[in-house]
Amino acid sequence: MSRNVLSVLVDNHAGVLARVSSLFGRRGFNIDSLSVSATDDAGLSRVTIVVRGDATELEQILRQTEKLTETRAVFHIEPGMGVLRELLLVKVGADEATRPALREIATVYKAKIIDLSPGSMIFELTGEPEKIDAFLEMLAQHPLLEMCRTGITALQRGEPRYKLKKSRLPDALS
């Protein structure tokens, strides 16, 4: 099963994330990653969803998502046709003896040290999910105390290849 990145432009109002994510659950799709963000239009939000599935399952979820009242556009970001990024914050146990090695790993991956305490360091890294995974693998020999990943956010390369559907919400809700 392949990783599929979906971008869904939805009307920006309360409850829309719950409706979109519950659709996936009702259809038996496990969401690997989900992020929601503002767009250049205050009336729209972008929901980026990563799911695993074959072409038939992908087509089904695209059709079902498109049917939601709040959906203005939904599309699959084909591999190599989008820019995908994720943010990682990770706290690693560190003392004076291990800090130089941790700094070296951070330098190689272009991670920022955003906090230094007597017993730990916090790193920030932004990049493709594979880069985040590789960084975490390099840190595995050190005690990972806490970690938080945002999930993937993505934009399709080039000109938009979709047209926004007209909002079906009454003016009072949009």
| Residues of the domain holding 50 | 2-79
pLDDT for res 2: 87
Q: Within this chain, do residues 124 and 146 fall inside the same structural domain, yes or no? A: yes
CATH no. for residue 131? 3.30.70.1150
Beta pairing partners, 118: none
Q: What is the pLDDT of residues 92-138, one digit of tens each?
A: 999 999 999 999 999 999 999 999 999 999 999 999 999 999 999 99
pLDDT at 162 over 80: no
Q: Within this chain, do residues 113 and 131 fall inside the same structural domain, yes or no? A: yes
Lowest-confidence range among 24-28, 45-49, 91-95, 128-132? 24-28
Q: Give the three-class secondary structure for 96.
A: coil
pLDDT at 171 over 80: no
Residue for token pair 């496990």 = 30
Please give the torsion angle defined by the CA atoms of residues 70, 75, 80 and 85, in that order, rounded to the nearest 10 degrees. 10
Query: How many structural domains does the chain have?
Result: 2
- pTM score: 0.83
Quick one: pLDDT band at residue 26, thresholds 50, 70, 90?
Answer: confident
The dihedral region occupied by 61, where left means phi > 0, alpha psi between -120 and 50, and beta the remainder, is: alpha
pLDDT at 161 over 70: no
pLDDT for res 160: 72
